[in-house]
Each structure stands twice: as structure tokens, then as C-alpha cells.
Amino acid sequence: MLSTSQKTNSCSRVEEIDGILYINPGSLTGASTASGDKHQPAFALLDINGSACTLYRYKLGENDKVDVQPLEFKKRSVAV
């Protein structure tokens, strides 16, 4: 199961909890929050292939260099 959320402007975040992959893709603009905190521009690309997926996290780093971090996930088998 997959769940995405874009309720914050925080940098992209990925967690797997009890077989559910939670993704906060971040903010493409890196917009500031109401409190004035600044964030790195970030987004995520998800490549789904059968029971496996690869998540590519893109972040704008120092000197405007784009950092790409691939993360691989596989669906767990359910015991009957």
C-alpha cells in the first residue's frame, strides 16, 4: 500500500510502517512556512514495476546542484 501527503513544505520524506510506504514529496518551490522557515526545493518520482518500486528523491543542494537519491522498496509477502 502507498500513501502520499503534501501537507507540509518540508523536505521530502519517506517512511515504511507496517508494510505501508508513506511519501511526503516535499515542495518543488522550497516555499517558506508561515513561521518563515526556509526549505530545500524537493520532489519525488515513483517508478512502480509489479511488486517493487523505486522512489527517486530530487533535492536542490548547494551551488544549485541537484541531488538524486534512489530508494528501492519491495512489497512484502503476506503469510496465509
Give all domains of the chain, ordered by start, each with its CATH number: 2-74 (3.60.21.10)
Residue 66 has a pLDDT of 92
Q: pTM for the complete prediction?
A: 0.68
35, 19, 21: which is closest to 8 by C-alpha? Answer: 35
Residue for cell digits 524537493?
42
DSSP for 1-28 reads: -EEE--SS-SPPEEEEETTEEEEE---S
pLDDT tens digits along 44-74: 899 999 989 999 989 888 888 999 999 998 8
In the chain, the N- to C-terminal Cα span, in Å, equals 18
Q: Which of 45, 46, 47, 7 is nearest to 27 (CA)?
A: 7
Q: Which of 25-29, 36-40, 68-72 has the highest mean pLDDT?
A: 68-72
